[in-house]
Amino acid sequence: METPERWEQISEIAATAIDLPAGEREAYLAASCAGDTELREQVMRLVSAGQASFVRVDQPLVRGDLLRRALSEGRGLVEGEVLGKRYRIVRHIGAGGMGDVYEAWDLSLESRVALKTVRPEFARDEAIVERFKREVQLARQVTHENVCRVYDLGSMARGEDGVEVFCLTMELIEGQTLAELMRSHGPWTYEEALPVLEQVCLGLKAAHQAGVIHRDLKPANIMLVRREDAEKTWHVVVTDFGLAHSNQADASSWTQKMRPGTPAYMAPEQLEGKAVGPEADLYALGGVMYEMATGRAPWQGDSPLEVAFARLKEPVKAPSQWRPGVDGRWERIMLRLLEKEPGDRYVSAEAVLRDLESGPRRRMPLRKLWRRVDWRWAAVAGFVVLTACGVLYWDRVRSKSSPEALRWLRQGEEAIENRSWLTAKDLLDRAQAASPRNVKVLARLAQTHLELDQTQRAQQVLLSALGESGQEPADAEFREALRAGLVKDWPAATAAMERRVKLVPQAEQSRARFDLIWLLEKSGKVKDARGQLEALLKAEPGHAGANLGLGILLYRDGKVEAGEAALRKAEESYRLLGNAEGLATVAVERTEAVVGKDRGGAAFALIETTEKQVRDSLSARSPAGLYSLDARLKVLKAQTYSYQAKHELALATARSAFESGSASLIGGGYIKGLLALARGWIQTEHFPEAIEVLMMARDHAARQECTSCLAMANYYHGYLLSLQQNCAAASEKLQLAAAQFDGLEDRGNQFRARSAEAACYRRAADYDRAEKMMTEIERDAAPFAVPDIKSTLMRERYAMAAQRGDRVGSEALLVQLEEEHRRIQATTLWHQDLIDHSHQRLLSGRLTEARESLNRAAAQLGPDEARLKQHAAMVDALIDCDMGRAPAAQAKLDAASKTYQLTAKQMMLDQSEMACEISIEGSGPDRIAKYCEPIWTKMDTHPELGFLRILGGYSRAHYYIGRREPTEALRWVDIAYGQATKDQHKQNELYAALVGFEAAAMGTDAQSKTLWRQRAVSARQQLEEKLGQEAFQVFWRRATYSGRWANLERTK
């Protein structure tokens, strides 16, 4: 097997050599291999193998024509196939929105025709077919050289299987569409355009006289055929009269699923669904001219929706603004054609033609100021092209709403108020299926998609709502609010929603206000939303949805008690109403809040209870809602597991959260699952995996526009970097996350992110900076009363004191911390404090006290606090070490790692530190290596981590002492000693010196022995001074120090 680079080299030479005549090969190889005999041999072997006359791969496993055939059959009709015993398919020409277009041979009339198929999904609908037929009947009456002739229409049997295909035959025109030509042509001059436009006008005139309106005139429907005359002029044919299918290749077409007409050219009255006359075609003609002259459509926008709205609201810009050289007369013609009011346009195609040919005869009427279109009031029928095949479908049929649809709509609206968005979507989907064109249903559906971050879908639905009839002013405002919301124009959206509140009848007041609140919250105006909720509740104290919303907002803002009170009220209402889903939602919200501050056994039990409640209450009703709530709970569960050091369970749960989340396709739900997964990886110190998952989460978050997910991903990433002591990169990420959380008014996470930054500085021993940062956080957090920020900071301060070896300070802080955790009922954290406290006592030498308090703490631990149990067992063993009971300590270490089935490698860093420390005492090098290995690896990969240099340094020294290699031992202890002096950590300095002496004593270098003895003596003296006599005496009870000191005394 070669490396890719080497193989490329071999391939290059061999490919040429194989093709060369045998006689020339030698010389070529000699030249190209340039003395590399191995290369030459390899190439030779390949060349000779290549001479084989047959290699198995020469004969394909499948024949290529199968694929080609499949590809063409897939298109539908096959070349040579005869349809309805009359049309033989010659070739496939293209695909359109409604079906495909073929060239066919009419066997009975012996002529070539174009044959258009209509997709079964359209052909099945009798109403469509009927209408289609009528249109074609009309279109057939137009006989004009500039209009494409329509011949025949109907279902035709396909040869073999008798399947019917609905199709339409028409004149076959071989040429280019104007759309194609425009792409390669660039802007047209008046003179160039005139011959084309004249013929389009003639075609339109003929059609209009026959009573046929095109309705979808656009460049793709104008065919140009080169005439074989001297000037090679164009013959122009307008196609698809009255058919209004959309061409897929058209840039302005909608997504694949919903094919609209071509909003870029549609007249305003057509968009509004009013009756359409010849003027609509003239408007489209104006659009075509505009694009020919300027190279751009009269209205632009990011989406058909925007384009459509733009036309209704804004006047068109004069073509000369885009292209200064545009012929003035032509420009006036265009602008007149593009008048918003049909009556202000030309009266006929013929009139346009006259003006085109001889310049405007009459003065143009003064262009009125473009009246701001009050499209909200427009009675609308059209534009539902989206839902089917074009104009055919959007007759002036009024939408009739079935009673079921109205019932589902009502239930859907209720679900929205109760934040059960997925259930709402389910219900509204059902409503839409029953009444596809009910404006209210469509608007609500759009709102739901918007909430679920399915913006594309929201746009589609909204666009179809635009064309529907029966719009009340309030509905139009709602739609406007959604439209503005879609493009994140929050002020406009809010304004529309506010107008709507004033427009709706009394009975719908509270719902309308609720929608306003939804919008405020969505746009990040949480405070306003809360104010509105409170006002709403003043009028209707029992409003369940409002209480739920208020509860959530309060909780999020750190106002736990008020939040809980609101949730309880919501719960009460839901119970009265018998709304199980509402109850489940409250339970999930509460669980989220509780677990947010306590990850202990109680939290876990709560999650399990809620999980059960969710399953019981929802299984019968809405699977989507179930999944979304379930996913949220699983995320919480994963977080809790990871706090309990059940990392594998955490990972597995996070995975299923992701799956549950993606099954429900809730906006952001599965991303939160991914984030939980990332967190699991981070906490198990699987950093590359974590980064990969985080990248994925960020990618999805960006795509789903889930800001909170994005902020979370940045937070985790920064946290990860801070664990790796990459403070510069970490702070960049964490600051970004904090700013994003700030924008979301998510105070808890905002301050957590900043605390993580402070922790990074602290771990890097940049204490001043860490302290400054914490003071800032304290100051900024003060007005918000975030539940756990106080304890987070306290814990950080404690960690700092402990890291600096400030026993008194750290103990004092621990006492406060214990109190705070007990107060906020953060049980697991409180237990952790108790064990830490015992550890601190041990470090001060209060061994008996340490053991007693440890026993008390251990008695508190719940059955699922495995990580803490292990932690306690380690501290217990450490106490034994200092009591001089090394064998007992070793036995406890082994037992602990066995009981919790953790080898040193799987332990979290703090635990492997303790394990390493224990293993040093009274055991051989093998044991030391077994338990200290992870510390050593980390020490090597993170030389900047001071505390690892100390522990790693002296544990390695112990290892080499055990192996009787004093030189190596001294080398390592020197590192530990150096770091301790640098940190001015007297205790560590003394310990390292004692170990140093032990190593030196083993060697023969008397000078080194003296040096280390002096260091030990001096460190002891300084520590004594620092602690004071009394405390020092207590400290000196620690056998790990005093035992080694005695050793030093003995060898005097």
Residue 71: CB minimum distance to other proteins, A:
6
| 551 token code pair | 């509860």
**Least CB distance from residue 243 to other proteins, whole Å?**
19
CB neighbours of residue 720 within 10 Å: 24
Minimum Å gap between C-beta 868 and other proteins is 40
Sign of CA dihedral 260, 263, 268, 269: negative
Site string for other proteins, 91-110 (x = CB under 8 A): ----x---------------
Q: How far is CA 319 from the centre of its chain?
A: 41
CA-derived radius of gyration, the chain: 40
Q: Which of 22, 34, 62, 507 binds other proteins (CB under 8 A)?
A: 62
Instruction: Give the residue, chosen from 31, 35, 58, 80, that forms a contact with other proteins under the rule CB under 8 A.
Output: 58
* CB closer to other proteins, 256 vs 901: 256
Comparing CB distances to other proteins, the nearer of 46 and 888 is 46
Q: Which is nearer to other proteins, 16 or 320 (CB)?
A: 16
690 touches 682 (CB < 8 A) = yes
Extract the tokens encoding 1037: 């009870």
Where does this chain touch other proteins (CB under 8 A) — which range of 66-74, 308-316, 436-444, 519-527?
Answer: 66-74
Centroid of chain to Cα 473? 35
Q: Is 620 in the site for other proteins (CB under 8 A)?
A: no
507's CB contacts (< 8 A; 6+ apart) are none
Interface residue with other proteins among 27, 30, 36, 45 (CB under 8 A) is 45
Q: Which of 301, 364, 309, 377 is nearest to 336 (CA)?
A: 364
89 vs 351, which CB is nearer to other proteins? 89
Q: Tokens standing for 833?
A: 């404090």
3-state DSSP helix/strand/coil % of the chain, to nearest 5: 70, 5, 25
Per CB under 8 A, does 64 bind other proteins? yes
Residue 520: both structure tokens together: 């405020």
Q: Which range in 4-12, 427-435, 637-645, 702-710 contacts other proteins by CB under 8 A?
A: 4-12
Nearer residue to other proteins within complex by CB, 25 or 621:
25
Angle between helices 439-451 and 403-417 (to 10 degrees): 30
Binding mask 302-341 for other proteins (x = CB under 8 A): ----------------------------------------
- Dihedral angle of Cα 125, 128, 131, 136, to the nearest 10 degrees: -100
65 binds other proteins per the rule CB under 8 A: yes
**x/- site string to other proteins, residues 221 to 260, per CB under 8 A?**
---------------------------x------xxx---
Under DSSP, the state recorded for 21 is: -
49/576 with CB nearer other proteins: 49
> Which residue in 31, 57, 369, 728 binds other proteins (CB under 8 A)?
57
Contact in structure between 390 and 243 (CB atoms under 8 Å): yes
> Shortest approach of other proteins to residue 662 CB, angstroms?
10
At its nearest, how many Å lie between other proteins and the CB of residue 159?
Answer: 16
Of 106-165, binders to other proteins (CB under 8 A) are: 119
Who's near 714: CB < 8 A, 6+ residues apart?
A: 698, 733, 734, 736, 737, 740
604 touches 643 (CB < 8 A): no
State the number of binding residues for other proteins (CB under 8 A): 45
Q: Is 2 in the site for other proteins (CB under 8 A)?
A: yes
How far apart are the C-alpha atoms of 299 and 812, rounded to whole Å? 70
By CB under 8 A, tell whether 41 contacts other proteins. no
For other proteins, the binding residue among 22, 34, 71, 859 (CB under 8 A) is 71
Q: Does 60 bind other proteins (CB under 8 A)?
A: yes
- Main-chain dihedrals φ then ψ at residue 556, nearest 5 degrees: -65, -30
- State yes or no: residue 623 binds other proteins (CB under 8 A): no
Enumerate residues 966-1005 that contact other proteins by CB under 8 A: none
- Angstrom distance (rounded) from CA 883 to CA 423: 63
24, 26, 36, 49: which one contacts other proteins (CB under 8 A)? 49
Closer CB to other proteins, 32 or 725, in the complex: 32
Could you tell me which of 913, 934, 908 has the C-alpha nearest to residue 643?
908
Q: Which residues contact 196 (CB under 8 A, 6 or more apart)?
A: 178, 222, 224, 234, 236, 292
Q: How big is the CA angle at 1016 (ends 1012 and 1022), to the nearest 5 degrees?
A: 140
Verify binding: residue 74, other proteins, rule CB under 8 A.
Answer: yes
1018 phi/psi in degrees, rounded to 5: -65, -40
Q: What whole-number distance in Å separates Cα of residue 377 and Cα of residue 458?
A: 22
The residue from 24, 36, 38, 73 that contacts other proteins (CB under 8 A) is 73
Q: Which is closer to other proteins, CB of 62 or CB of 366?
A: 62
- Minimal distance in Å, beta carbon 7 to other proteins? 4
Q: Contact between 59 and other proteins (CB under 8 A)?
A: yes
- The least distance separating other proteins from the CB of residue 548, rounded to whole angstroms, comes to 31
Smallest separation, CB 156 to other proteins (Å): 18
Cα separation, 133 vs 118, whole angstroms = 12
385 binds other proteins (CB under 8 A): no
Tell me, rounded to whole angstroms, the distance of Cα 309 from its chain centroid.
Answer: 28
Closer by beta carbon to other proteins, 601 or else 668: 668
CA-based angle 748:751:757, to the nearest 5? Answer: 140
Q: What are phi and psi of 224, to 5 degrees?
A: -120, 130
Query: Candidates 54-62, 385-393, 395-403, 863-871 — which segment interacts with other proteins by CB under 8 A?
Result: 54-62
Per-residue CA distances from 750 to 35, 376, 444, 707, 851 (Å): 66, 42, 33, 13, 39
- Please, which residue, 32 or 735, has the CB nearer to other proteins? 32
63 binds other proteins (CB under 8 A): yes
Asked if 69 interacts with other proteins (CB under 8 A), we say yes
What is the rounded CA–CA span in Å between residue 136 and residue 148? Answer: 12
* Catalytic, out of 19, 36, 106, 216: 216
Cα of 683 vs its chain's centroid, Å = 23
Distance CA(647)–CA(906), nearest Å, equals 10
In the range 525-554, which residues lie near other proteins by CB under 8 A?
none
DSSP 806-850: -HHHHHHHHHHHHHHHHHTT-HHHHHHHHHHHHHHHHHHT-HHHH
Least distance from other proteins to the Cβ atom of residue 1, Å: 7
Near other proteins by CB under 8 A: residue from 27, 30, 66, 109: 66
Pick the piece of the chain touching other proteins (CB under 8 A) from 14-22, 234-242, 349-357, 944-952: 14-22
Binding mask 18-37 for other proteins (x = CB under 8 A): xx------------------
Q: Is 940 a catalytic residue?
A: no
Phi-psi region of 48 (alpha: psi -120 to 50; beta: other; left: phi over 0): alpha
134-166 b/e (C-beta count within 10 Å ≥ 16 → b) = ebbebbbebebebbbbbbbbeebebeeeeeebb
Interface segment toward other proteins; rule CB under 8 A; list 11-19, 293-301, 601-609, 930-938 = 11-19
* Beta-bridge mates of residue 234: 226
CA atoms within 13 A on the CB side of 25: 20
Judged by CB under 8 A, which of 21, 37, 56, 161 binds other proteins?
A: 56
Closest CB to other proteins among residues 63, 226? 63
Instruction: Write down the least CB distance from residue 446 to other proteins, Å.
Output: 17
**Shortest Å, Cβ 66 to other proteins:** 5
Q: Which residues bind other proteins (CB under 8 A)?
A: 1-4, 7-8, 10-11, 14-16, 18-19, 45-47, 49-50, 52, 55-67, 69-71, 73-76, 95, 119, 248, 255-257
Active site positions, annotated? 216
